[in-house]
Amino acid sequence: MSDVECSFDDASCLSPQSPGSPSPTRKQNKETTFTINCVTFPHPDAMPEQQLLKPSEWSYCDYFWTDKKDPQGNSTVSGFEILLQKQLKGKQMQKEMAEFIRERIKIEEEYAKNLSKLSQNSLAAQEEGTLGESWSQLKKSLADEAEVHLKFSSKLQAEVEKPLLNFRENFKKDMKKYDHHIADLRKQLVSRYASVEKARKALSERQKDLEMKTQQLEIKLSNKTEEEIKKARRKSTQAGDDLMRCVDLYNQAQSKWFEEMVTTSLELERLEVERVEMIRQHLCQYTQLRHETDMFNQSTVEPVDQLLQKVDPAKDRELWVKEHKTGNIRPVDMEI
């Protein structure tokens, strides 16, 4: 969780609980609703099943309303925090993909360098005839292939690596803004819930005080006047009004948090779709460049293939003999 976000499983956000009472993070309320970490949900036995906001879409706005137990400890992680973690992980994966493409570029550059160097090697440079021509063309094809791989590496950098690196440069800053916004609304909700519990406790005390004074007056254990009873009743009524006001403010805060959760989660969903589509597009560009490279590489060896088809041992023998012959008069028998 961010350092500005409070721990919502903290018992301080709820009313004090006596030993043996229900868990402080889960409070029943007349069996129609229950509260988890200061957020109120309908009790499944008291209300009909809710309809999803976006049925059949597995949308973020439908599945991240409750907090999740952190497997690393006893704290909880909000559903919105899980969505943020997904976004940040996506950004990290995008960065690692760019690093992967960078390594691919280095391999291409090194390969091109070695091909170019090999093309200048003098091995078998004295081969002659049609085979010698083919051998020379093969060596030249290495230089051509080296150029193809250099162009491939250059296009990879410009059309794949760079876009992956530069996509949403201010992404983390934007995510932090969303985090703070929702966290502030959740903090306000926690505060409103604490006020409700405080008002609920105050009303309970006023009601007990009124009941006790009324009983004392009835059995004449006290000289309390009816005026004091009226005063206690007014305080009890005021406490009830305060509770209603606090509940209303709580509901307003929860409604605002709900609306912003829906809006922001849908925005995060849109951003994730956009990220996936962007990466898919540039990986498709990678495969397209790869196909083009194969095609260009094929073109570099086509002249070699053509010359190899023309290699003629007889022709080579003819050319070599013409250049190196020492005489065509054959020896004859010696005469006496």
- Residues 266-279: pLDDT tens digits? 999 999 999 999 99
Alpha carbons within 13 angstroms on the beta-carbon side of residue 198 total 12
- Residues 224-279: pLDDT tens digits? 567 788 888 999 999 999 999 999 999 999 999 999 999 999 999 999 999 999 99
Q: Rg of the Cα trace of the chain?
A: 41
Instruction: Note whether residue 28 is domain-resident.
Output: no
Instruction: Note whether residue 334 is domain-resident.
Output: no
Q: Which residues pair with 215 in a beta bridge?
A: none
In sequence order, the 6+-apart residues with CB closer than 8 A to the CB of 300 are 141, 144, 145, 148
In one-letter notation, the amino acid at residue 186 is R
Instruction: Note whether residue 17 is domain-resident.
Output: no
Indicate the SS3 state at residue 107: helix
- Residues 32-73: pLDDT tens digits? 889 999 999 998 887 778 899 999 999 999 999 999 987 777
Tokens 């059995």: give the residue.
219
Token pair in block for residue 257: 């948090």
Residue 130 CA to residue 311 CA, distance in Å, equals 5
Instruction: Note whether residue 307 is domain-resident.
Output: yes
Instruction: Give the confidence band of 112 by pLDDT, cuts at 50, 70, 90.
Output: very high
Domain ranges, residue 154: 33-324
- Identify which of 229, 235, 170 has the alpha carbon closest to the alpha carbon of residue 203: 235
Instruction: Note whether residue 88 is domain-resident.
Output: yes
Give the model's pLDDT for residue 222. 56
Residue 2 CA to residue 183 CA, distance in Å, equals 9
Q: Are 67 and 78 in contact (CB under 8 A)?
A: yes
Q: What is the pTM of this model?
A: 0.78
Q: Are 293 and 149 in contact (CB under 8 A)?
A: yes
Instruction: Note whether residue 2 is domain-resident.
Output: no
Sign of torsion over alpha carbons 324, 327, 328, 334: negative
- Identify which of 87, 66, 61 has the alpha carbon closest to the alpha carbon of residue 259: 61
Q: What is the CATH number of the domain that holds 191?
A: 1.20.1270.60
For the chain, how many structural domains are there in total? 1
